[in-house]
Chain A
Amino acid sequence: MVNGANNAFWQALVFTIVVFAGGVFLGAIIEQSRANHFEMEVLNSQINFEDQKLRIALSQNSNLSCDEWIDGIFNFADRVYEEAQTLERYDSSSSLSDNLKVIHRQYDLLRLNLISESNLLVDKCVDSDFHTVVYFFDYGSEDIEIRSLQTSFARVLTQLKADNPDKVLLLPIAGNLELESVNLALKNHNINRLPAIVIDDKYVVNDLKSSSELEKYLL
């Protein structure tokens, strides 16, 4: 045996721990930078939302038309929806931290705010033809059947939104992130299993339906 070669075992262990720890640290930085990016996005969205609300409040008695109001909400909701999709992708590839879960909660609150905003809109613009479709899903479910079902629900709703871009306000919200307001919304609609779809605050759909079947609720 070469003199001192036995030390290779410890040297390799120390080297591996250092390199591995460095890798984990770099990984945590990558995940943190993703979380930071989304923190900024959600903050921007919150500011935009507050701005939107203020604009509506300030122009209650002015000439802000329903169309402008609807356009504003739709553009905003669509942007939040896209951000949420990206967040979903990053979230599913996150291994080291739960930072993105908190951001998920923030986005859910934002979308819940949008529901009440759209309800106001329905009251004010009675003749307008738009519909709020709220999709409550089971966040981070490990149940294979629920995961598969949710994938299909998401595809159907994406199709519904694609077929009716100016008519459907699609708001996906995680139903199990321990937000009191979300729990209340679920309770109000007697939803005790996820996933579920609430259309125009009236219809609750628990079973998987095709896009065309869902369109019937929009008539």
Chain B
Amino acid sequence: MTWIDFVFFLYMFVGLYMLSLFLFLYLHGRKDIFSYPNGKIEPVSIVMPCYNEGEHIGKAIEALLNLDYPRDMIEIIVVDDKSKDNSAEIISKYAEKYSNVKLIVNSRNSGGAAEPTNIGIRASKYDYIAVADADSEPKRDALIKMIGFLQNDQTVGGVTCAVLSKEPKTFMQKLQAIEYAVIAANRKLLDVIDAVYVTPGPFALYRKRILIEVGLFDPKNLTQDIEIVWRLKSRGYKARMCLATCVYSATPKKFSKWWKQRVRWNIGGTQTLIQYRNYLFKTGMLGSFILPFFSFSLFLGLFGLLLFVYLMLRRLLVTYLTTRSSIIADTAIITLQDLSFTPSVLNYFGAVMFVFGLISTLFYLYLMRRHINKKHNVFNILFYLLIYLTIYPLIMVTGLFKLMRKTYTW
């Protein structure tokens, strides 16, 4: 066995372990996977940061106004981060029409979501703060199903719900729709062991007192929704996940936008990882699972990419040298023998792992069917597994490169 064979076996072992872990988490938590504590109606301030969201902001506000929650118990604060489009104008119209809708215009463009969110939180008057994205629409029952998590356990600082793709039309959006559904199911399984590591921006609920106690969202971090959870956890608070409801969020239509978004997420994730490195292997889920999991994933992703590049270069070099000498010797550049493929045990392992991955993906999509009307196309699922996911190491490298050179923006 060569060292490369050994590395492949190691990767497959880790992959199988992660699939098994989620399987066992499901077995432990399956009874409560869609359950939620009954919540009391209490007033909630919903803070929505907004920048150039003229296309979505109207629908987003309306979705909040149409929540199954008494309107007089909701305060909607939209903080415009100096948009260049007509966002502020649209928000003003809603503010004029509805007394519980307020517009705050930031004095400058902060270049991120954290600062306008913090402005909104400071201006809010209620004890519960929901943070919503301006391109997202929560399900009508979102608030009522999520608030019980905070009311029933005083140590819970934040609650998230399933984030799903809003009206996926393009191929990229359809791939993201699969990804979002898989991530949502996975996140609920992490909730079984109290390892929810993010309360995504599209819709999350917090206790205002705790947010202020930990110092609100970090404007320097590109993924303030990950950082806030790690900070909550580092201070002994919990984050929970409610799979009984969801929020539909707009996803990038094109590859370039998607790439930019994912690079930003990776930079933010790495920033958070570095920021909380001292908690590694310390007590609590942050130190014993979340940090090692993220660090190990980052290492495996980068090492895997390096190995892939090395193997490809070696292959290219062999092909080049063979072709060159075959030309010199005036013989065939390629023969039938070169095209023959004899599967090795590693290939069988890889195929079995792919089948396991496919089964778990299909299972997660099956779990999420209650929130998704359309069925996913088989080709899209295969493309997601075989191509889409393999792009991630490249995103990681780009993110790290930009982080090192400090050439990143929102």
Contacts and interface: CB of A to CB of B under 8 A. Distances in A.
Interface of A: 1-2, 4-9, 11-13, 15-16, 19-20, 23-24, 26-28, 30-31, 85, 89-90, 92-96, 144-145, 147-149, 151-152, 155-156, 158-159, 208-212
Contacts of B25: 5, 8
Contacts of A92: 342
B42 interface: no
Interface of B: 1, 5, 12-13, 16-17, 20-21, 23-25, 27-29, 32, 192-194, 314, 317-318, 321-322, 324-326, 328-332, 335, 337, 340, 342-349, 352
A135 to B, nearest CB: 14
A64 B267 CA distance: 81
25 contacts: A2-B28, A2-B192, A2-B193, A4-B28, A5-B25, A8-B25, A12-B21, A23-B348, A30-B348, A89-B340, A94-B345, A95-B346, A144-B314, A148-B322, A148-B324, A151-B322, A152-B326, A152-B328, A152-B329, A155-B332, A156-B329, A159-B331, A210-B329, A210-B331, A212-B330
Contacts of A148: 318, 321-322, 324-325
Contacts of B32: 2
Q: Which 8 A-B pairs have the closest CB atoms?
A: A27-B345, A148-B321, A93-B344, A8-B24, A152-B325, A12-B20, A210-B330, A12-B21
Chain A facing B: main interface SS: helix
A33 to B, nearest CB: 12
A89 B343 CA distance: 9
Nearest to B315: A144
Contact of A9 (B21, B331, B332): B21
B319 to A, nearest CB: 8
B329 A155 contact: yes
B29 A30 contact: no
Judged by DSSP, the binding face of B is helix
Given A95-B5, A155-B331, A210-B329, A6 B193 contact: yes
A159 B25 CA distance: 59
A27 B349 contact: yes
Contacts of B24: 7-8, 11-12, 15
Contacts of B1: 95-96
B76 to A, nearest CB: 34
A27 B348 contact: yes
A159 B5 CA distance: 33
A95 B3 CA distance: 11
A94 B317 contact: no
Given A12-B24, A155-B326, 6 more contacts: A1-B194, A6-B193, A8-B28, A8-B192, A11-B20, A208-B329
A74 B337 CA distance: 22
Contacts of B5: 95
A85 to B, nearest CB: 7
B17 A16 contact: yes
B28 A31 contact: no
B306 to A, nearest CB: 18
A148 B348 CA distance: 27
Contacts of B28: 2, 4-5, 7-8
A28 B345 CA distance: 8
Nearest to B31: A2
A90 B23 CA distance: 35
Contact of B330 (A12, A145, A211): A211
B349 A85 contact: no
Contacts of B328: 152, 208
A27 B9 CA distance: 12
B29 A5 contact: yes
Contacts of A89: 340, 342
B312 to A, nearest CB: 13
Contacts of B23: 12, 15
B47 to A, nearest CB: 29
Contact of A16 (B16, B332, B335, B343): B16
A27 B343 CA distance: 11
Contacts of B318: 144, 147-148, 151
Nearest to B335: A155
Given A151-B322, A211-B331, A95 B345 contact: yes
B234 to A, nearest CB: 17
A155 B24 CA distance: 53
Given A144-B317, A147-B318, A1 B330 contact: no
B331 to A, nearest CB: 5
B347 A93 contact: yes
B330 to A, nearest CB: 4
Contacts of A15: 20, 23-24
A5 B193 contact: yes
Contacts of A155: 326, 329, 331-332, 335
B273 to A, nearest CB: 21
B263 to A, nearest CB: 31
B192 A1 contact: yes
A9 to B, nearest CB: 7
A96 B192 CA distance: 38
A195 to B, nearest CB: 11
Contact of A159 (B322, B332, B344): B332
